[in-house]
Amino acid sequence: MAAPIQKVLIANRGEIALRVQRACREMGIPTVAVHSTADAEAMHVRLADESVCIGPPAARDSYLNAAAILSAAIVTGADAIHPGYGFLSENAAFADMVEAHGLTFIGPSPDHIRMMGDKIAAKAAMASLGVPLVPGSEGEVATLEQARAVCAAIGYPVLVKAAAGGGGRGMKVARDADGLEEAWRVARAEARAAFGNEAVYMEKYLDRPRHIELQVMADAYGHVVHFGERDCSLQRRHQKLLEEAGSPALDATQRARLGTTVTGALRQLGYRNAGTLEFLYQDGQFAFIEMNTRLQVEHPVTEMVCDADLVREQIRVASGEALGYTQSDIVMRGHAIECRITAEDPDSFMPTPGLVSVYHPPGGPGVRVDSALYAGYRVPPFYDSLVAKLIVHAPTRAEAIARLRRSLDEFAVLGIKTTLPLHQRIVEDAQFQAGDYDIHWLERFVAAQ
């Protein structure tokens, strides 16, 4: 059985490393930072109780170097590892290694990570537990004959997706019977090249859905709760720019119905720790597409509306504690919006690493900034370009937007270009303000600039 956690190694960098440190510090748990040689001056190293250099700048030699990270945990006496998001967070083999060394992986079981990493297995599990899916193939589509049979049943257009894909990687659309063979062959070839697994499946292509995801948390004793949904429809090339909790498209009844279905399914599955189920939502219908077995970048909007600390909950349940509350204790209050501010040119989206000369984050009521920036910091060119998350919370969506506009105006990051000006343009838009958008809205908005 899991024991109380005494020291946490945080296998990540940037704002999420700080986020995990903050939860640990409030719980009285010392932290170990790991860093590449490029991150020696990084804020997550400065604020940790201890730090270990784990390798050269390239992520595969440092933040993805499982052996170096495990060694760092062992030499510093850490008894648990929090993976953050990205990097090793959804690597089942890494979670296995952590457990094999007698350490606690702060996340789901390796078997659940593995299951949800296989999108075909994830869909089969959810379908068998009553979660609605997009019409599509039952499992893998291994032959062209099977592909034709699926299309005869569900009609065009269809999407061919890689079982090992996810997050938009390895998808091909077939608009009609003439395009099917090409889409199926190319998707399989790309899946084999990218993931070493050529298995693909098929779904009816939904033309204008919203991306709505549900945050869940489970302990080791069969208690499962949800913390409501996030609307993550505002994406460009599968990169989210702005997220909201709750979705402007849902009401409390729809939320409760989805929550009951999902928590029931995860209870039967024996799932533990944090998770997010991704749905497409169109014409009043939810369809499950993928599950993420990690803390997500956009978790703060959920924390703001639910007055929760999801990292603390992750650490508590990984320590073997029971949740200690039920669904009716979780109340969504008001509305929260997050802007992901990246070190990118706001027009071309080219990365803009370099020296930050001025850093002045906004403050005041209902404002949270999760960032590892400081004046004098040099944003390295080797990693994700996310440099700050601005999160606002207010009683209503309209008030949250007003708060977001004034916070974006206050925010100063000088020395490098950031996407702050793009966020300012988005929040001025009447359609955004009306909550009237789907997953294609942002691409069109950016193209029209």
Contact string 249-278 vs ligand MV4 (x = CB under 6 A): -----------------------------x
State the Cα–Cα distance between residues 202 and 70, nearest whole angstrom: 38
Are the beta carbons of 212 and 250 closer than 8 angstroms? yes
- Residue (of 342, 390, 330) closest to 363 by Cα position: 390
Beta bridge partners of 378: 355
State the Cα–Cα distance between residues 62 and 68, nearest whole angstrom: 7
Q: How many residues line the site for ligand MV4 (CB under 6 A)? A: 17
- Asked if 203 is part of the footprint of ligand MV4 (rule: CB under 6 A), the reply reads yes
**Residue with Cβ nearer ligand MV4 (235 or 276):** 235
- Asked if 208 is part of the footprint of ligand MV4 (rule: CB under 6 A), the reply reads no
Please confirm, yes or no, whether 397 is among the known catalytic residues: no
User: What is the nearest approach in angstroms of ligand MV4 to the Cβ of residue 202?
Assistant: 9
Which residue type is seen at 208? R
The only residue of 289, 339, 343, 356 in contact with ligand MV4, by rule CB under 6 A: 289
User: What is the nearest approach in angstroms of ligand MV4 to the Cβ of residue 204?
Assistant: 6
Stretch that binds ligand MV4, among 58-66, 145-153, 198-206, 337-345 (CB under 6 A): 198-206
State the Cα–Cα distance between residues 59 and 282, nearest whole angstrom: 38
The only residue of 132, 167, 363, 376 in contact with ligand MV4, by rule CB under 6 A: 167
User: Using CB under 6 A, which residues numbered 115 to 154 contact ligand MV4?
Assistant: 134
State the Cα–Cα distance between residues 284 and 281, nearest whole angstrom: 7
Cβ partners under 8 Å of residue 193, min gap 6: none
Helix (H) or strand (E) holding 343: none
As given in the structure block, the two tokens for residue 112 are: 């659940």
Stretch that binds ligand MV4, among 204-212, 293-301, 361-369, 386-394 (CB under 6 A): 204-212
Stretch that binds ligand MV4, among 197-205, 253-261, 339-347, 404-412 (CB under 6 A): 197-205
Are the beta carbons of 227 and 266 closer than 8 angstroms? no
Tell me the angle at which helices 92-100 and 66-76 cross, rounded to the nearest 10 degrees: 30
Stretch that binds ligand MV4, among 203-211, 318-326, 341-349, 375-383 (CB under 6 A): 203-211
Give the length of the chain.
Answer: 449
**Residue with Cβ nearer ligand MV4 (13 or 299):** 299
Q: Which of 294, 340, 397, 403 is catalytic?
A: 294
- Residue (of 13, 26, 106, 110) closest to 62 by Cα position: 13
The only residue of 208, 238, 257, 333 in contact with ligand MV4, by rule CB under 6 A: 238
Q: Which residues are catalytic?
A: 294
Q: By the criterion CB under 6 A, which residues form the site for ligand MV4?
A: 134, 159, 167-168, 203-206, 209, 211, 235, 238, 278, 280, 289-290, 439
